[in-house]
A and B are shown apart, each in its own frame.
Chain A
Amino acid sequence: DIQLTQSPSTLSASVGDRVTITCRASEIVYNWLAWFQQKPGKAPKLLIHKASTLQDGVPSTFSGSGSGTEFTLTINSLQPDDFATYYCQQYDSHPHTFGGGTKVEIK
């Protein structure tokens, strides 16, 4: 199975900050990587697919980059609604695997 390692596992930030989350894959996944946002008690919400394609309706403050084995999710100007846990997922090969998550907390 392809392992996805997210860092950091927890991140403390303030409203207006620029935040970057990293996802490293144990094997090449090309650009078949998605990012999800999850709030407590809610289903994950797709933010980005194909490493950098913003899902319809997602604010442009979110962006994704990377290919191969290293990817980043950037949130420009963190908003109160952005405090949540973020997961990456590779869908290059089966089984599709998720990273361990990054919790973005209020500083």
Chain B
Amino acid sequence: QVQLQESGPGLVKPSETLSLTCTVSGGSFAYHQWSWIRQPPGKGLEWIGYISYSGNTDYNPSLQSRVTISIDTPKSYFSLMLTSVTAADTATYYCARSIGSSFYYSDVWGKGTTVTVSS
């Protein structure tokens, strides 16, 4: 059974870069998309983007200028970098596996990691 686990700093200073990693275990890394989704405190969900196992990415245009998702297939993890963060980036960040053919939905999620942007 595939499991995902987010890791990274829980506190990031304004204007710095948020970096998170999602480690995947128990399943194949191939033929899926690997996603990041976030949820500000008390608010709804926002899709950040995803990366294919081969490295192709799609990002939310609202974040595209600041976001990079990368993947290390042999090591079964993928990462999120978000630059120039502000308080508006404070959220719980989830990684997820997205499956399908051409149209991908997220079927397995990590537990989430809370990131606070504050000096």
Contact surface of A with B, Cβ cutoff 8 Å: 1, 32, 34, 36, 42-46, 49-50, 55, 87, 89, 91-92, 94-101
> Which residues from B are CB-within-8-Å of A92?
103
Q: Is the CB of B47 within 8 A of A98?
A: yes
Mostly, the A contact residues are loop
**Number of A-B residue pairs having CB atoms within 8 Å of each other in the complex:** 58
Could you give, for residues 42-79 of chain B, a 1 whenever the CB lies within 8 Å of some chain A CB and a 0 otherwise? Answer: 00111101000000001111100000000000000000
Nearest neighbor of A6 in chain B, beta-carbon distance: B44
Interface size class of chain B, counting residues whose CB lies under 8 Å from the partner chain: 20 to 34
10 contacts between A and B (CB under 8 A): A43-B110, A43-B111, A44-B109, A45-B109, A89-B105, A91-B105, A98-B44, A98-B47, A99-B44, A100-B44
Chain A residues with CB under 8 Å of B61's CB are 1, 94-95
